[in-house]
Amino acid sequence: MVVNVMLASMAKHGQQPRGTAAGNHVYHVASSAVNPLLYGDLFQICYQYFTRSPLVNAWRRMPILVQPIRFRDNMEQYASDVETNALLRSGGSRVAASSEWLSRRAHDLRAKTVEHIVHLGRIYEPFTFYGSRADTTNTEALFSEMSAEEKLRFDFDARSIDWMDYFTNVHIPGLRKHLMKGRGSV
């Protein structure tokens, strides 16, 4: 969509006669005002996806069962919850009884896992805790000025985004393949 808006705006403003002051034209590509993705909807999409296509525990080769996601108000709360959940899932200090080496190894592995999960959370922090909406007036005007053929060709109307389809078939599979490098898959 971003590339299509750039191409359409270049086509529009590139036709101005020489010597004409071009001015600055800002085109925001955003859905927050016209087709917002609500946190509750995003969490439900993720829950449904990972219920149907769960990550797999690398050691036990068993699916990792997911719980409905809770919204956190800030990154610190998210990181704290990740640490607490990791500690609870690892059994806390039960491992310490077996051996000191195993206990240290389990602690290091848990810390590395928590660090990785918090890192993934930080990638999305600017989007997750962003409370404003982008002004898409210029972008909407650009789209409305286009012919029917141009609208089909450039198709950057944010109203047309099917969030369920996008996250289920593009975004999450892409994260699993490229960011997680296939880890957690069968």
Q: pLDDT of 113-133, one tens digit each?
A: 999 999 988 998 887 777 778
pLDDT of residue 127: 76
pLDDT band at 12 (very low <50, low <70, confident <90, very high): confident
Question: CA-to-CA distance for 78 and 80, rounded, in angstroms?
Answer: 5
**With 90 as the cut, is the pLDDT of residue 171 above it?**
yes
* Token pair for 138: 């210029």
Beta carbons within 8 Å of 22's beta carbon, 6+ residues apart: 13, 16
Residues in the chain: 186
Q: What is the mean pLDDT of residues 76-90?
A: 86
Residue 25 contacts residue 141 (beta carbons within 8 Å) = no
User: What pLDDT does residue 149 have?
Assistant: 95
Would the pLDDT of 93 be above 60? Answer: no
pLDDT given for residue 98 in this prediction = 52
> Which pLDDT score is estimated for 96?
46
Region of poorest pLDDT, from 6-10, 11-15, 41-45: 11-15
The answer to whether 185 touches 55, Cβ cutoff 8 Å, is yes
pLDDT at residue 95 in the model? 45
Question: Would you give the distance in Å from CA 174 to the centre of its chain?
Answer: 10
The residue ranges of every structural domain in the chain are 72-132
The 8 Å CB, 24+ separation contacts for 132-138 are: 132/32, 133/30, 133/32, 133/33, 134/28, 134/30, 134/32, 134/33, 135/28, 135/33, 136/28, 136/29, 136/30, 136/33, 136/34, 138/25, 138/26, 138/27, 138/28
Q: Does an H or E element contain 79, and which?
A: helix 75-89
* Averaged pLDDT, 3-27: 81
Range of 11-15, 97-101, 106-110, 148-152 with top mean pLDDT: 148-152
Q: How far apart are CA 33 and CA 159, in angstroms?
A: 9
| Mean pLDDT over the full length of the chain | 86
